[in-house]
Structure 1
């Protein structure tokens, strides 16, 4: 009955306020006093009695719970003690493990630091060895270059010297070798050797072009190829030929220079003061001088074209000894062209057409000469083209179908049109 009474009374007790995290004992006491109004001791005593009863009720319930679960709680106590023993053992093992790890770290750290030091030494030794290897190679090549250049022209091997020079300069470009005495002292010798080899290569190529000697031309190109300068030299040669022909074309139709020439060969007045035009009496002399110049020009153009054909032929015959790629393929790849000849002809015909057009705009007499005597101009161009066809070993009929032939005749088509129009007017009258 007592147990039932406690439970029944317990149901009237409000435990929630005591379970709150914000519960304040002083605040609770103040609230009881405030509730009593005038601070009646009887009400305070009743509140204290309720608290005492609540405490007794809780204490009784705890005792009942402990009594009801005695064996379970006792087993948990034993389990906790056993767990403490296990935890103590684990803690001891952890401490021992940490000590073992510290000893192991010491055993590993020292060999690792030593190994790292050895690795750095090995890298430095490898770097030094590689540097010495390159220096040794440089010394060997420098001595080889001296023997290849020789003291007399018969002792010289320019092609091999070109290869040696290229390798020497490749080694010298390595920044790791900057400031090394043997490299610095050899620079002047290598530079002078390079100049000598380049001059010899240029002389061989130019002589080969001038004399149509393919052997000398091939020797010069071989030297330049070994020095990795062949493509640049080919481009330079083509540009020089084109520039020279452009100057010759301008000179041939330059009425100012023609005026000076006619003054030197004539005692009387041969020219009017305006636009360098000839007098009526001297027109035939001027006309003849113009055609003499044009004939000389076509011969010069023929020589230039043949030089280009010869150059392309030699480039096509020469091959790289390792890749078997022709020199022509290498040059065309660098110059971004499909054919040296085609590129040259396009430049030549464009220059020829442009210079004649500009000159005839400035000189009425020159235009009249080219239009009225167009058959003579056409014959000169045809003769020029036929000599090119003869040099290439093809018939004129076949050559007349080539792009070179077509674009060259097209460059004088404006004078052909003028001649046909003039002939048509004359036939009409």
Structure 2
């Protein structure tokens, strides 16, 4: 009796998570605020919600006692897990980089979704063949059993996929922070919490997965606890992702909009701003602060004897630049000067880039192309051609 009541309680938790997930994924997808990250998060929550819906329906009597629902269950892929890892990775990038676009180069990361779709395709084909007299009940049952076995062992690449993409996402956050780009504290904090909860879930899943994939312990595990150790935490994850994600995305958008449009009352007077700009430029040129890869708004402000907020306001309002753009322009200019010196041929492009304050060759390549519209190698080639009489 206690087991039945607990089962009903956990099923209710999952059902509430499903309802919450459907509502919040719809709100996020329709939101015009922080549009691309919101839509990626909406799809992510939607996939988790559908997986919870699938496990909830397995315990519903009317769903399991009618042939039409069995066929529909085989035809509609509710458990699609392989895209979740890439979606986490794309969401982190889209949240930290406003210029991020979902281009074709990302498509390859979603090809493993075939792992999820193959068992549904096989089961649906078996149902259709049976209904049309092309397969016996025994053949249909064998194919359905194979699809079930496939799903059991498909959890292994599913687990690895999410774990690997969480690790890649964490590396991306660390890289962006090391580049000292203008990243709001709220955004970085939210994304770290976002990844932490997914990693906690991965730990729970791993503890369940090990006995689940071993044939001798699989059925005793399911008889003892069912699927609840996995899907109850997923329901909780839906609650948190949906509400927190919706609120954070709204707040991020509000901050971005306020940064784009500065109220006249908060704008610095032109004469004061000009004095601040000259002080910053003098520091950058005389002290060559841009050569320090770890230079931040705070450290520049400390050197200039100005509040960090004033530095950001001067750059944004009067130069129409972010801090990272302001510093990287000096680094790119230094690279251009250095690469044209006579002894530069003895050095590598990445080596010179690091001398000029860039934190990594990849960062240098991206920023150089962004600020100049060409690649470093192309710039060098054109510069040499211009020197040739």
TM-score by length of 1: 0.20
TM-score by length of 2: 0.22
Which fold has the larger relative contact order, with Cα–Cα distance below 8 Å and residues 6 or more apart in sequence? 2
- Whose Rg is larger? 1
